[in-house]
């Protein structure tokens, strides 16, 4: 596939099995540089190859002027593999029409250009004419930059899992995110702020109809879905729990 320009000396194209080696080099490099390894669940080489070759997966790669792969994003056309709806009570996530945003990485020399979200946009635009208008993903509570980007892309935090499977006999904390571009959430106007690392408080707020809508340092802002509460007299009503 031909590489398409992104406007700033970078190019993108969808990757296939021939890109396996270069992709693994990038993944290992970025992972080695991560201070908090719990923030990224590494796929095995077989899983990465499956993602590059299966009809149900897409992997987009970003290349620099020298043709070197400097970023990627994986997306799965379906949610059967990850089964995220089982962790979510606050909203019904239909299997049909829902996709899963998997791993994304940007080489440290190219961070700060919004590439995590630009690759998400490329994926969404590629699927515009297909029947996927809902998306799910997971993010670690300790992956601030990624979480900020997921909120910026219009996702809401709809689930918290204390022990999410992270490889053989390994479990990590994860938030579950969801976006439905055809039926965006409607809110009652009641907001609250909770500590990002207080899983219990987040679960309590979720059970009362609140979803996460933004994060600022260790403060998570949650907004109540309209079906759970009377519309507040003042739309900026805010309280702490
Ligand atoms: C998460 C990640 C993809 C974001 O990269 P990105 O799209 O380039 O990030 P943004 O363009 O949104 O960056 C916004 C700001 O955060 C900073 N930033 C982004 N990631 C950062 C990181 N890991 N460490 C420190 N600062 C970071 C950027 O430099 C930029 O700062 P600026 O506004 O002062 O210029 C990248 O940090 C990464 O590859 N992390 C490791 C893998 C990972 O966690 N992937 C996500 C989970 S699947």
What number does the ligand 1 atom closest to the CA of 143 have? 44
What number does the ligand 1 atom closest to the CA of 152 have? 12
For residues 138 and 125, the model is more confident at 138
The predicted pLDDT at position 130 comes to: 82
C-alpha of residue 210 to centroid of ligand 1, in Å? 27
Tens digits of per-residue pLDDT, 63-120? 999 999 999 999 999 998 888 999 999 999 999 999 999 999 999 999 999 999 999 9
* Ligand 1 pocket by Cβ (under 6 Å): 30, 34, 39-40, 103-106, 111-116, 143, 145-146, 149
Query: CA-CA distances (angstroms) from residue 192 to 10, 138, 156, 208?
Result: 40, 22, 14, 11
The predicted pLDDT at position 87 comes to: 97
The predicted pLDDT at position 164 comes to: 95
Say if pTM beats, i.e. exceeds, 0.85.
yes
Which of 38, 71, 112, 217 has the most ligand 1 atoms within 8 A of CB, as the residue to mutate?
Answer: 112
Domains delineated in the chain:
4-154 (3.40.630.30)
What number does the ligand 1 atom closest to the CA of 103 have? 48
Average pLDDT, rounded, for the chain: 93
The proportion of the chain whose per-residue pLDDT surpasses 90, expressed as a percent, equals 85
C-alpha of residue 89 to centroid of ligand 1, in Å? 30
Whether pLDDT at 48 is above 70: yes
Whether pLDDT at 15 is above 70: yes
Query: Average of pLDDT values for 36-55?
Result: 96
Phi-psi region of 237 (alpha: psi -120 to 50; beta: other; left: phi over 0): beta
Which of 33, 48, 104, 111 has the most ligand 1 atoms within 8 A of CB, as the residue to mutate?
Answer: 111
Tens digits of per-residue pLDDT, 204-219? 999 999 999 999 999 9
Tens digits of per-residue pLDDT, 183-241? 999 999 999 999 999 999 999 999 999 999 999 999 999 999 999 987 555 545 555 55
Residue 13: pLDDT band by 50, 70, 90 thresholds? very high
């Amino acid at each position: 596939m031909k590489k398409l320009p992104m406007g700033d000396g970078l190019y993108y194209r969808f990757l296939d099995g021939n890109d396996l080696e270069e992709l693994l080099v990038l993944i290992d490099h970025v992972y080695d540089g991560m201070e908090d390894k719990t923030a990224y669940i590494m796929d095995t080489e077989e899983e990465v190859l499956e993602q590059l070759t299966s009809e149900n997966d897409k992997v987009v790669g970003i290349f620099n002027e020298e043709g070197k792969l400097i970023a990627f994003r994986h997306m799965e056309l379906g949610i059967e593999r990850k089964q995220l709806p089982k962790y979510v009570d606050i909203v019904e996530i239909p299997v049909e029409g829902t996709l899963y945003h998997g791993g994304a990485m940007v080489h440290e020399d190219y961070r700060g250009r919004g590439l995590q979200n630009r690759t998400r946009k490329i994926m969404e635009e590629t699927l515009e004419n297909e029947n996927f208008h809902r998306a799910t993903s997971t993010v670690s509570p300790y992956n601030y930059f990624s979480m900020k980007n997921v909120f910026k892309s219009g996702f809401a935090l709809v689930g918290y899992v204390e022990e999410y499977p992270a490889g053989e006999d390994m479990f990590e904390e994860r938030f579950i995110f969801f976006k439905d571009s055809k039926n965006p959430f409607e809110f009652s106007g009641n907001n609250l702020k909770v500590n990002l690392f207080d899983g219990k408080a987040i679960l309590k707020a979720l059970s009362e109809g609140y979803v996460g809508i933004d994060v600022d340092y260790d403060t998570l802002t949650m907004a109540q879905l309209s079906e759970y509460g009377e519309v507040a007299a003042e739309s900026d009503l805010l309280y702490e729990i």
